[in-house]
Amino acid sequence: MAKLDLDALAKEMTEWRHDLHAHPEFGFEEKRTAAFVAAKLRGFGLDEIAEGIGGTGIVGALRLGTSNRAIALRADMDALRIDEQGTQAYKSRHSGLMHACGHDGHTAMLLGAAKLLAAEGGFDGAIRFIFQPAEEWGKGALAMLADGLMARFPFDEIYGLHNWPGLPVGSFETRVGPLLAAEDNFEITLNGIGGHAARPHEGREVLVAACALVVSLQTIVARRLNPADIAVVSATELIADGARNILPGMARVLGDARSFRPEVSAEIEAQIRRIAAGTAALYDCSAEVAYIREFTPLVNDAEATRAALAAAATVFNPAAIRGDREPLTASEDFARFLDHAPGCFAFIGNGENSAPLHNPCYDFNDAALLDGARFYAAIARQRLPAG
């Protein structure tokens, strides 16, 4: 086994990341990205590379020694429908698409780990390198699982990383238990009778009802849920079929709810249905509610989290490691894998001056690439000890 020059690896990962950043692809459309990943893995000499898992997902397998244990390391590949406003030379070449969440960096880090582990070894067992499509809309992990991921590439544990703006580069944060929230989406349709703006008494217009509904939804967290439970209910769109002088006969209120426990999610849905029905009755219209659970809560396993923190201590300055990160109401598709195996998801710093995630000026910080690759290698070697 050959020892890699880490400075050279960091430079190479930066080149990969810039190439991926310049060619963003939306969920389940990551054909170029998947081909790029598969070609790199072949060049590293992995034992098996499976393409098209869950549509455009890639899984690389690397085995050493005789152990039957296997762990998985996961990165996401998809971009967002955002027009990039950056000025860097590797700015997105595709109008309306950009890597505004750092998945280009996540992919480059996992590729770096694959190259490092393929070259240097230091483990006994099997490593599954999972490159997942369509994380942003919560479909990619489910698609890979439905396509037989666990049967073809079984694993005992799984680990993942996400960059976090505001944290200094070189930081590592996670926690045991709930780390990220479930995301539910709802759509409430109010139907009445539209008409002339000058004669509202002749119809049953719904815009006032929709406005009242938006305000009433805010009482769910404030007055209907236990204050000890973390939850967010947000109305994000109000769409009506009226015009400047036409009262609408239809209005749709769309929104998003976040929580950490299934019981809370169920109560939010029940309250939304109750409020929608009551508002419709008050304003003499009808209401229909569609409620969809897109993301499940991400809950880190205790043993896997302790292992992740121990591995991080071999890479990061111990003063920059935090094992009691507060839960966040963002959501992550990685949670779906945790329904099938224990694991840990963690954050690494993207810099205190980084633009926020999903911002048109965001960019992944290349200084974090080597830390991520080294963490993945460290956790693999720790959980699959050689000798």
Per-residue pLDDT of the chain (387 residues; tens, 9 = 90+): 789 999 999 999 999 999 999 999 999 999 999 999 999 999 999 999 999 999 999 999 999 999 999 999 999 999 999 999 989 999 999 999 999 999 999 999 999 999 999 999 999 999 999 999 999 999 999 999 999 999 999 999 999 999 999 999 999 999 999 999 999 999 999 999 999 999 999 999 999 999 999 999 999 999 999 999 999 999 999 999 999 999 999 999 999 999 999 999 999 999 999 999 999 999 999 999 999 999 999 999 999 999 999 999 999 999 999 999 999 999 999 999 999 999 999 999 999 999 999 999 999 999 999 999 999 999 999 999 997
**Which of 226, 261, 295 is the endpoint of a domain?**
295
The domain containing residue 49 runs over which residues?
6-180+298-383
* Domain's final residue, options 268, 295, 322: 295
Residues 136 and 117 occupy one common structural domain: yes
**In this structure, are 38 and 171 located in the same domain?**
yes
Whole-model pTM: value is 0.94
Q: What pLDDT score does 141 carry? A: 98
pLDDT at 107: 99
CB atoms within 10 A of CB 379: 28
| 238 strand-pairing partners | 253
Which amino acid is present at 76? Answer: D
Q: Is residue 234 part of a domain?
A: yes
152 and 122 share one domain:
yes
Looking at residue 86, its pLDDT comes to: 85
For position 2, what pLDDT does the model report?
82
CATH number at residue 222: 3.30.70.360
Q: Which of 264, 295, 326 marks a domain boundary?
A: 295
CATH of the domain at 25: 3.40.630.10
In a domain, 225, yes or no: yes
Residues 154, 70: contact at Cβ < 8 Å? yes
Is residue 328 within 8 Å of 180, Cβ to Cβ? yes
What are the start-end ranges of the H helices in the chain? Answer: 6-22, 31-44, 103-120, 140-146, 149-152, 207-217, 219, 262-282, 302-312, 369-383
Q: Are residues 267 and 280 in the same domain?
A: yes
Q: Kindly state whether residues 30 and 170 are assigned to the same domain.
A: yes
If asked whether residues 226 and 361 sit together in one domain, one would say: no
Query: Which pLDDT score is estimated for 204?
Result: 95
Q: In this structure, is residue 1 part of a structural domain? A: no
Tell me how many domains the chain contains. 2
